Structures are given as structure tokens and as C-alpha cells.
């Protein structure tokens, strides 16, 4: 199962980073291609993403683990969605660890398993995942640097 991991140290406390990561409504501010978040309740939320061609796409997620200010993990709900044809699993985890007095090590992982046996597809998914996590870390860094 392709797992992509990225990490970075940000100049902010874990609590400051958690204020962003721990609230799904903040995703449009830092998560790539998310234009808005809807239906945040009972550990679930819907991301409205915009494709490269400008088409809006809805994706539903369930919070799998949330322990402030250390870890937030969410999984995409794939059953009965167009994503189900391509993905068997799609899950994001963000871990925060204090790194000195006013810094936080942010470690992100993205697990995506494609349906079927697609070796080339796995490579492409991993490459896209690296870009996605790097962009997410860039977004977080820009928010806490203010």
C-alpha cells in the first residue's frame, strides 16, 4: 500500500498548529485544492475540492483519530462514490511533536491503495501524494508564520 510521508519543523507551538489542523473548517486555508468544507459534525466532514479544470468535486471524510494537540487522522469515505472505482483506501494523518520551546515537528502521512494491480498507478499516486503533502506543509507554514 503506497504510503507517502513528509515532515517539517514549523516555528509555532503544537497548540498553535493544532488550532488549524484540529478544525476541519480550516482545511481550505492550507490543504491543496479544498475550496470549502461542509457538514462538519460528529467526526465527519465534506471537502469541496476543485479539479485542475475548475470542476467542483465533493469528498466525504470520517475523523478516525483526534488527540489534541498531537494527532489528527481522517479517512475518505469511498463506498458508493466515484472514488470507489479507483481507490480502496485513502487516509491522511498529521502528527505534531514539540521541538523546542516554540517549534513543532509536523509529520504527515498519506496512505492510498488503488483498486486492482496497477504498479505504474502506484508510482503516480505516490508522486502526487508527495506533492500534495508538500503543498499542505507549505500552507500550514504560511499560516503559522503570520
State yes or no: pLDDT of 146 exceeds 90: no
Structural domains present in the chain: 3-144 (3.30.530.20)
pTM of the model: 0.92
| Paired strand residues for 67 | 71
The predicted pLDDT at position 118 comes to 55
Q: Measure Cα distances from 36 to 54, 59, 131 in Å.
A: 14, 11, 20
State yes or no: pLDDT of 1 exceeds 70: no
The string of pLDDT tens digits covering residues 51-109 is 889 999 999 999 999 999 999 999 999 999 989 988 899 999 999 999 988 999 999 99
Asked if 32 and 57 touch (Cβ cutoff 8 Å), the reply is no
State yes or no: pLDDT of 16 exceeds 60: yes
Q: What angle do CA 8, 9, 11 make, to 5 degrees?
A: 140
Distance CA 114, CA 83 (A): 10
Amino acid at each position: 500500500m503506497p504510503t507517502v510521508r513528509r515532515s517539517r519543523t514549523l516555528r509555532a507551538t503544537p497548540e498553535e498548529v493544532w488550532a488549524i489542523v484540529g478544525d476541519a473548517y480550516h482545511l481550505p486555508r492550507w490543504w491543496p485544492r479544498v475550496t470549502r468544507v461542509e457538514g462538519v459534525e460528529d467526526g465527519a466532514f465534506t471537502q469541496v475540492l476543485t479539479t485542475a479544470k475548475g470542476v467542483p468535486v465533493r469528498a466525504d471524510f470520517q475523523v478516525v483519530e483526534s488527540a489534541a494537540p498531537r494527532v489528527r487522522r481522517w479517512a475518505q469515505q469511498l463506498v458508493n462514490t466515484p472514488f470507489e472505482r479507483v481507490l480502496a483506501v485513502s487516509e491522511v494523518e498529521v502528527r505534531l511533536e514539540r521541538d523546542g520551546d516554540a517549534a513543532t515537528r509536523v509529520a504527515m502521512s498519506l496512505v492510498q491503495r488503488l483498486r486492482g494491480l496497477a504498479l505504474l498507478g502506484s508510482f503516480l499516486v505516490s508522486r502526487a501524494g508527495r506533492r500534495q503533502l508538500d503543498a499542505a506543509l507549505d500552507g500550514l507554514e504560511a499560516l503559522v508564520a503570520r
